[in-house]
Chains A and B, each alone.
Chain A
Amino acid sequence: MIELEYTDVAELRGPLIVVRGVGGVGWDEFASIHLPGGDVRHGLVLEVDGDLALVQVLEGTSGMTPGRIGVAFSGTPFRVPVGPGWLGRVCDGLGSPLDGGPPIFGSTTMPVSGLPLNPAWRVPPAEPILTGVSVIDALTTLVRGQKIAVFSSPGLPHLDLAAQIAAQAHASGGPFSVIFAAMGLTHADALGVRDALEARTAAAELVLLLNLADDPVIERILTPRIALTVAEHLAFHLGRHVLVVLADMTSYCEALREVSSVRGEIPARRAYPGYLYSDLASIYERCGKVRGLPGSVTLLPVLTMPAGDITHPVPDLTGYITEGQIVLSRDVPGYPPVDSLASISRLMRHGVGAGRTRREHVDLAAQLLAALTRARQARELAEFVGTDALSSLDRRYLDLARAFDERLVAQGREESHGLEETFDRAWQVLSTLPRTELTMLDAAAVDANYREAR
Chain B
Amino acid sequence: MPVAVVTRVNGPLVEVSDLRGVAMFDQVTVKGLPGEVVSLRGERATVQMYEYTGGLMPGLPVEATGIPLSAPLGPHLLGGVFDGLLRPLEQASMWLDPRSREGAETRSWRFTPLVAEGRAVEPGAPVGAVTMAGGLSYLVLASGGTVGSIRPAGEYPAEAPIATVGGHEMTMVRRWPIRRALPYRERLAEPVPLITGQRVLDLLLPVQRGGTTAVPGGFGTGKTVLLQQIAKWCDADVVVYVGCGERGNEMADVISELGQLGDPRTGGRLADRTVMIANTSNMPMMAREASIYTGVTVAEHFRDMGYDAVLITDSTSRWAEARREFASRSGALPAEEGYPADLASAIAAFYERAGRVTTLGGRTGSVTILGAVSPPGGDMTEPVTTHTQRFVRTLWSLDRDLAYARHYPAVSWEASFSRDDESLAQWHDRTGREGWAATRARISALLAEADHLSGIAELVGTAALHARERVVLLGGRLLREGLLQQSALSPTDAYCTPERTIALAGTVLAAIDDCLALVSGGVPADEIESRDFSAVLRAKESG
Contacts and interface: CB of A to CB of B under 8 A. Distances in A.
Interface stretch (B153-161, B265-273, B372-380): B372-380
A372 to B, nearest CB: 12
A323 B253 CA distance: 12
B132 interface: no
A288 B282 contact: no
B144 to A, nearest CB: 37
A48 B57 contact: yes
Interface stretch (A6-14, A109-117, A204-212): A109-117
B243 A119 contact: yes
Interface residues of B, number: 61
B9 A288 contact: no
A320 B219 contact: yes
Interface stretch (B85-93, B169-177, B415-423, B510-518): B85-93
Q: In this complex, which of A124, A288, A313 has the most chain B Cβ atoms within 10 angstroms of its Cβ?
A: A124
Contacts of A284: 281
A25 B58 CA distance: 8
A27 B54 contact: yes
A254 interface: no
A454 interface: no
A285 B8 contact: no
A269 B337 contact: yes
Nearest to B331: A266
Interface string A65-76: 000000000001
Interface string A47-63: 11111000000000000
B55 A119 contact: no
A436 interface: no
A50 B58 contact: yes
A365 to B, nearest CB: 12
A325 to B, nearest CB: 8
B249 A281 contact: no
B494 to A, nearest CB: 14
A122 B283 contact: no
Contacts of A278: 245, 281-282, 285, 321-322, 325
Contact of B377 (A26, A281, A311): A311
A368 to B, nearest CB: 13
Interface string B500-526: 000000000000000000000000000
B104 interface: no
Nearest to B337: A268
B245 A277 contact: yes
Residue among A50, A119, A147, A321 with max Cβ neighbours from chain B (10 Å) = A119
A285 B57 contact: no
B249 A145 contact: yes
B280 interface: yes
Interface string A291-331: 00000000000000000000111001101110100000000
Nearest to A276: B321
A121 B94 contact: yes
A275 interface: yes
B383 to A, nearest CB: 11
A359 to B, nearest CB: 17
A282 B282 CA distance: 5
Nearest to B318: A277
Contacts of A116: 95-96, 280, 282-284
B97 A115 contact: yes
Contact of B55 (A28, A118, A268): A28
B256 interface: yes
B57 A26 contact: yes
Interface in B6-37: 7-11, 15
A119 B57 contact: no
Given A124-B252, A268-B324, A286-B282, A27 B95 contact: no
A404 to B, nearest CB: 18
Given A124-B256, A278-B321, A311-B378, A27 B220 contact: no
Of A113, A118, A123, A312, most buried by chain B (CB within 10 Å of CB) is A118
Contacts of B325: 274-275, 278
A31 B246 CA distance: 33
A341 interface: yes
A344 interface: yes
Given A28-B53, A317-B376, A118 B89 contact: yes
B343 interface: no
Interface string A147-163: 10000000000000000
Interface residues of A, number: 63
A83 interface: no
Contacts of B97: 115
A119 B92 CA distance: 10
Interface in B204-254: 219-220, 243, 245, 247-253
A223 interface: no
A24 interface: yes
A124 B256 CA distance: 8
A77 B54 contact: yes
Contacts of A113: 52, 54
Contact of B280 (A24, A28, A285, A370): A285
A112 B334 CA distance: 32
A265 interface: yes
Contact of A347 (B89, B243, B249, B256): B249
A267 B252 contact: no
A124 B249 contact: yes
Contact of B57 (A25, A125, A288): A25
Given A118-B95, A122-B248, A278-B325, A285 B9 contact: no
Contacts of B56: 26-27
A265 B328 contact: yes
Nearest to B94: A121
Given A24-B57, A26-B55, A321 B8 contact: no
Contacts of B11: 27
A244 to B, nearest CB: 15
Interface in B283-324: 283-285, 318, 321-322, 324
A277 B253 contact: no
Contacts of B328: 265-266, 274
A312 B57 CA distance: 37
B378 A120 contact: no
B249 A274 contact: no
Contact of B248 (A47, A76, A119): A119
A307 B313 CA distance: 34
A236 to B, nearest CB: 8
A347 B249 CA distance: 9
A313 B219 CA distance: 12
Contacts of A347: 249
Interface string B324-347: 110010000010011000000000
Given A118-B96, A282-B281, 16 more contacts: A26-B57, A27-B11, A29-B54, A49-B7, A115-B95, A117-B94, A118-B95, A119-B243, A119-B251, A122-B251, A274-B325, A281-B280, A285-B248, A285-B281, A323-B250, A349-B489
Top 8 A-B residue pairs of the complex, sorted by shortest distance between their CB atoms: A281-B281, A311-B377, A122-B252, A285-B282, A28-B54, A26-B55, A120-B89, A115-B95
Interface of B: 7-11, 15, 52-59, 81, 89-90, 92-97, 219-220, 243, 245, 247-253, 255-256, 278, 280-285, 318, 321-322, 324-325, 328, 334, 337-338, 374, 376-379, 404-406, 489
14 contacts: A27-B9, A27-B53, A47-B10, A48-B58, A113-B52, A120-B89, A121-B94, A124-B253, A268-B337, A269-B377, A274-B338, A285-B282, A313-B377, A373-B405
